[in-house]
Amino acid sequence: MATIKLTINNQPRTLDVEPDMPLLWAIRDVVGLTGTKFGCGIAQCGACTVHLDGSPVRSCSVPVSAVSGQKITTIEGLSKNADHPVQKAWIAHQVPQCGYCQSGQIMSAVALLKTTPKPTDSDIDNAMQGNICRCGTYTRVREAIHTASAEMNTANKLPKNGAKVGKR
C-alpha cells in the first residue's frame, strides 16, 4: 500500500491504495465518485475519461501513483446541478440513451471546447473518436457540442426548449 495525495474536484485527498491501482478504481471504489465509468480497461472506449490538470485522460490506464500531487476533475466536478454549458446542451438535445458512456463523452467534449472553442464537425470527429457510445448517440453528441460552443462563445442563452425537444 502507498499513500497517494492528489486533488479531485478541488478537494485534496489522501488515498491509502496499491500504487498500481488504476486511477479509475481509486476514483470509483476508494473516493466513491461513481460517475466515471469502467468500459474496457485499455483506453479504447473513453467511458473513464477525466481531466488531469485540464487535459482528458483515460483513468482506467493511469496508475494512481502516476498522478500523485496532480489535479483531477471528474464529471462530478464539472458542475453542481448539471448546468455546465455542455451538460445543458446534452440535456437540451436529450443526448443520453442508456447514459453509461456519457460522463466520458461530456468530459471529452468539455476538453475539446477548451482547446477549440468553435469546433467544426471534423474537429468534433477527431476529438470524440475515442469515446464509444454503443447506443449510437453520435449525431446528438455532435449537435450538442455545437450548441454548447455557441453558448460558451456568446452571451446568448440556449434556445428555449421548455419541456419539448425534437425540433431539429
Partner 1 sequence: MNTNETLSANRRDFLKLLGLTGAALVVGISSANAEVFGGPVSGLLNINADPVGMALTPYIIIDKTGKVTLMNSQPDMGQGTHQSIPALMAEELGLSLDKVTILQTGGEKAFGGQVSGGSSSVRGNYMTLRKVGASAREMLVTAASQQWNVPANECTVADARVHHKASNRSIGYGDLVETASKLTAPTSPKLKESKDFTILGKATMRPEVPAKSSGKAVFGIDVKVPGMLYASVERSPVIGSKLVSFDDTKTKQVKGVRQVLKASRVLEKNRYDGVAVVADTYWAALKGRRALAVTWDHQGLDKFNTPAYEQHLHELAKQDGLVDHSAGDFAKALADAPTKLEAFYETPMVSHSPMEPMNCVVHWPTDTSVEIWASSQGATIIKENMVAEFKLKADDVKVNITFNGGGFGRRLFQDFVLEAAHIAKAVGKPVKVIWTREDDTQLGPFRPMTFSAFRAGLGADGMPLAFQHKVISPSIEATLGSPHKTGTVDKTMTEGISEQKYEIPNVDNRYVFAELPVPTGYWRAVTSTTLAFAHECFIDEMAHKAGKDPLDYRLAMMTKASDAKRVLTKLREVSKWDKPLPAGWGRGVAQYEFFAGLAGHVVEVSKQKDGSVKVEKVICVIDLGTVVNPDMVRAQTEGAIAMAITAATKPGITFENGAAQQANFDTNPMLRINEMPVVEVHILAEGGPVIKGVGEPGLPPVAPALANAIFMATGKRVRRLPMDLSKLA
- Tell me which residues touch partner 1 (CB under 8 A): 1, 17-18, 20-22, 25, 28-30, 32-42, 44-45, 47, 74-76, 78-79, 81-82, 87, 90-91, 94-103, 106, 124-126, 128-129, 131-142, 161, 163-167
CB of 74 to partner 1, least distance (A): 7
CB of 150 to partner 1, least distance (A): 18
CA distance 72 to 29: 16
Nearer to partner 1, 41 or 150 (CB): 41
CB of 166 to partner 1, least distance (A): 3
For residue 81, give the C-alpha cell.
446541478
C-alpha closest to that of 5 among 16, 97, 59, 30: 16
C-alpha closest to that of 49 among 39, 35, 63, 59: 59
C-alpha closest to that of 89 among 143, 128, 129, 138: 143
Nearer to partner 1, 52 or 128 (CB): 128
Strand-pairing partners, residue 7, are 12, 71
CB of 73 to partner 1, least distance (A): 12
- Strand boundaries in 41-87, DSSP class E: 49-52, 55-58, 71-73
Complete edge-to-edge strand list for the sheet that includes strand 71-73:
11-17, 2-8, 71-73, 49-52, 55-58
Q: How many CB atoms lie within 10 A of CB 162?
A: 5
CB of 87 to partner 1, least distance (A): 5
